[in-house]
Structure 1
Amino acid sequence: MPTDAPATTVVVVTWRGADHITECLDGLAAQHSPHRTLVVDNASDDGTATLLARHPSRPAVLRPRRNLGYAGALAAALPHVTTPFVAWLNDDAVPRPAWLNTLEDILRADPGCAAVASVLQRPDGTRQSSGVRLTADGHGADLAGAPSPTAPPFGFCGGAVLLRLAPLRAEGGVPAGFFCYYEDLDTAWRLRLAGHGIAAPPDRPDAAVVHRHGASTRPGSPRFHGWNERNRLLTLLRCAPAAVAVRELARFAALTAVLPLRRARPGSGTAVPDAPNFRVGLRCRVLAGVVIRLPGTLARRVVVGRHRVLARSDVWRRWAGK
């Protein structure tokens, strides 16, 4: 590869992103590091295609016939990536000019590192994420504090991350069937099991990413909670120790079963939160989605197990609840 050839393909997934995709592409055009931009336009019908065609950066565009979701679009883009690195970037995220070259330098400096997280900031300047931690019940949670090279996060937020292409492909790519949410935690977990490192993001203002968050999906909506709950359980079944996966699935099912009783006894001291993920119908749909996908999920668990160099229990003890 020529020394001046781009090292990274930045994959931007958009769906009806006409009101923010231009700002994202402007941010990429201002990067210090040369790169390729590949936009996956998930069958938008709001004029996004026209904006992409007119943007001076002239990004390459994949246009599926239907909305594949974030995970599905990332998976669809992967065969088109030929650079050593691939970045994922939300269409409502605007990277600072030093974002890409700073993350590339981190990966180049450590061949054992498969990914480096980004600092994501809200538009008001507060920090949204410095990577992702693994909770004691198997949720992925944003780390809002300052990043630390000596205490890296378990994983990364998929809204802005740089990955090394070879290990990403070797460890199974992106779980396209997730549609959206938890594809980042699942990917990070598989990389960890295979012995790869994930670096903390650089704490540099000129390398941060400003993220509007939820421009394409509505955090807190029933769909949001449905994808989150289903994909957390699928990730556990694919990656976690068997006892942990079975425990969390059983807990989810048991709580679903007792919710009607709790609502029937409002003075019992066990009030039910007024949130979509505590609605019995949504939880039943989540369980049905897990059951339907169980054969394929367990088959994937076997493949993940064949690729791992670390015990699932060791990874869980090292990272869960930290």
Structure 2
Amino acid sequence: MKKVSIVILNWNGSSLMKRFLPSVVAHSPEEIAEIVVADNGSTDDSLAMLAKEFPGVRVIALKENYGFAEGYNRALAEITTPYTVLLNSDVEVTPHWLEAPLKALDTEQEIAAVQPKILAEKERDCFEYAGASGGFIDRYGYPFCRGRMFHVIEKDEGQYDTPCDILWGSGAALFIRTDVYRKEGGLDAGFFAHQEEIDLCWRLRTRGYRLVCLPDSVVYHVGGATLNQENPRKTFLNFRNNLLMLYKNLPEERLRATMRLRFWLDYLAALQFLLTGQFANVRAVYRARKAFRKLRTAYLPLRRENLQKATNPFPPEILSKSLLVTFYLKGKKRYGEIDFL
């Protein structure tokens, strides 16, 4: 029996797979790994291309575009290996990339998920925005990484090459125990895309699992291949989903004050969009907050479930300070300058 399934979610990404699948095939020994493409109802030539050029790749053909979250949920329902890698279609893997994560999962049962070091495919000496060398958030829900704070991305000079416990790993390349993924509810399908992996990882961490970054495993990620950084749809999903994530996971004693401040911070972000002429993004922030208010009641049962199952309600990997203050007022723009205490 194979040990790990490398599941690549695809939607109209034929050209990306032609470019990046060869590295996955070359560096994933077939005696331990199966490569799976879960196709989200593509309308390009993805399926025909896979059949012709990658006949050894298993295909799960979904009937429509379920988004990142539900697409993976449906794909992992058909996975039988102990471990799964969620891998973006625009990721280049490197020799021996499977070794350190699989060894950790084999030997340390409390570890539920592992992220490799993620570098930028175009600027290969720099970290990649989505994940870098392991993810964290501050008390108000703003994500950051070892190697990336807001828009500032560091060069990889070996400064984060030590293994590290993290709050979240990037969905661009995330090793996870298949049974834990299913047992703990998988990705939130209501998110559709963006920040659903942070929500899942936060949930796992509060339920007593460990998540780690192991930089001995290295991959290169293009990033932004599905939605441009300034796309209003991306702005909407990021703001709405971040609010839903906070609502689902914050302990009761922190929720009200956090949400009160986030109200003002979100509209401050909208003002910045307005002053820079990004009017569609202004509307996206407004629509995101309106959508959150509409969904909050429906998410109450999930919040109650999370609070009931939490054994570690505010993990130490959450910065107890404001990242905005740390970054903009104190001028600390590198992860190594942050004091978590």
Q: TM-score, normalized by length of structure 1?
A: 0.85
Query: What's 2:231 paired with?
Result: 221
Alignment correspondent of 2:127: 127
Is the 1:12–1:90 contact (alpha carbons within 8 Å) kept by the matching residues of 2? Answer: yes
Residue 171 (structure 2) aligns with: 158
Mean Cα deviation higher: 226-235 or 295-304: 295-304
Letter aligned with residue 191 of structure 1: L
* SS at 2:112 equivalent: strand
**Which residue of 259, 266, 279 maps to 1:249?**
259
Unaligned runs of 5+ in 1: 264-270
1:71 to 69, 72, 93: 69
Cα offset for 1:131?
1.3
Aligned partner (choices 88, 91, 98) of residue 90 of structure 1: 88
Pairwise CA distance, 1:113: 0.6
Q: What's 1:143 paired with? A: 146
Q: Give the conservation status (yes or no) of the 8 Å contact 1:259–1:272.
A: no
The change in CA–CA distance for 1:13 and 1:97 in structure 2 (over 3 A counts) is: same
Quote the Cα distance in structure 2 between the aligned partners of 1:226 and 1:290. 10
SS at match of 1:249: helix
> Match for residue 9 of structure 2?
13
Choose 134-143 or 210-219, whichever is displaced more: 134-143
Shift of 1:314: 6.5
47-56 vs 70-79, greater mean Cα deviation = 47-56
Offset at residue 276 of structure 1 (A): 6.2
Check 1:173–1:131 CA distance in 2 against 1; reply closer, same or farther (3 A cut).
same
Distance 1:58 1:185, change over 3 A: same
Deviations 1:37-88 (A, max 9, x none): 2212122222112112223353222233321111121111121111111110
Map of 1:157-176 to 2, 5 A cutoff?
157-176=170-189
Alpha-carbon RMSD across the aligned residues, in angstroms, is 2.7
Identify the residue that residue 304 of structure 2 maps to in structure 1: 302
- Distance in 2 between the 1:313 and 1:201 partners? 19
Is 2:108 the counterpart of 1:110?
yes
Q: Is the 8 A contact 2:6 2:86 kept in 1?
A: yes
How does 1:154-303 map onto structure 2 within 5 Å? 154-203=167-216, 207-254=217-264, 272-275=275-278, 279=282, 281-303=283-305
Secondary structure, aligned partner of 1:208? strand
Report deviation, 1:214: 1.2
- Between the aligned partners of 2:279 and 2:78, the Cα distance in structure 1 is 37
Greater strand proportion: 2
Give the deviation of 1:304 after TM superposition: 1.4
Against the structure 1 CA distance between its residues 277 and 175, is the aligned structure 2 distance closer, same or farther, given a 3 Å change threshold?
Answer: farther
Helix, strand or coil at the partner of 1:284: helix
Q: Report how far residue 226 of structure 1 moved.
A: 0.8
Give deviations 1:234-271, integer Å, cap 9, x for gaps: 111111123444334333434566889x79xxxxxxx8
Structure 2 segments unaligned to the other structure (5+ residues): 148-155, 324-339
Q: Is the 8 A contact 2:139 2:319 kept in 1?
A: no
TM-superposition CA deviations, 1:199-249 (whole Å, max 9, x none): 12223xxx3111111112212211111111111111111111234443343
1:12 aligned partner, one-letter code: I
Q: Structure 2: how far apart are the matches of 1:28 and 1:161?
A: 14
Give the TM-score, by structure 2 length: 0.81
The sequence identity of aligned pairs, in percent, is: 23
Tell whether the 8 Å contact from 2:8 to 2:87 is kept in structure 1 after alignment. yes
Give 1:184 deviation, angstroms. Answer: 1.1
Q: Which amino acid in structure 1 is aligned with residue 222 of structure 2?
A: R
- Report the more deviating stretch, 311-320 or 50-59: 311-320
Cross-structure match for 1:267: none
**Structure 2 residue identity aligned to 1:181:** H
Q: Secondary structure at the match of 1:158?
A: coil
